[in-house]
Amino acid sequence: MTESARDGEYDEWLDSIESDDGYYLECSNGHGWLPPRRVCPRCHDQELSAVDLPESGEIASHTTITVPTPQFEDDAPYVTAIADFGPVSVTGLVRDVDPDDVAIGDVVGIDVGERVTTGDRAVVFRPR
């Protein structure tokens, strides 16, 4: 990958989160997905439109990872969680909270942060 290469709509989506203008894609039947996505895999609808991502979500599950991949070597231990934001769920790193204090049902906001190990961008959740 060249230094300037971007991952299309995924990076655009990260940009939107970074600028507090996050969105998700919704089909006409209300199923939500994250980009890039051209069709709703649940109902085959191809009329997907961008909808504002709720400002806060709720942690559905979480884990503190102590054995990471090399790309997260200096991040460990870190918390990865899936958080529900209305019709979509997002996976991200939980920051600004003691790992022992993270719980299902916690309300979090979504942001973009940096991985400690590589400096690459990553989805980050912070308590709200």
Positions that interact with another protein (CB under 8 A): 7, 10, 33-34, 41, 60-73, 75, 78, 80-82, 88-93, 104, 115, 120, 122-123
Q: Which lies closer to another protein via its Cβ, residue 19 or residue 103?
A: 103
Q: How far is the CB of 64 from another protein (least distance, A)?
A: 5
- Cβ at position 56, least distance to another protein in Å: 17
Q: Which two tokens stand for residue 71?
A: 């790309």
Query: How far is it, in rounded angstroms, from Cα 70 to Cα 48?
Result: 36
Write the Ramachandran bin of 126: left for phi over 0, alpha for psi from -120 to 50, otherwise beta.
Answer: beta
- Judged by beta carbon, residue 21 or residue 73, the one nearer another protein is 73
Contacts of 115 (CB under 8 A, 6+ apart): 71, 72, 75, 93, 121, 122
Closest C-alpha among 51, 86, 106 to residue 94: 106
Nearer of residues 30 and 41 to another protein, judged by Cβ:
41
Is residue 123 within 8 A of residue 94, CB to CB? The reply is: no
Q: Tokens standing for 113?
A: 């942060």
Least CB distance to another protein at residue 127 (A): 17
| 42 vs 128 by CB, closer to another protein | 42
CB of 29 to another protein, least distance (A): 14
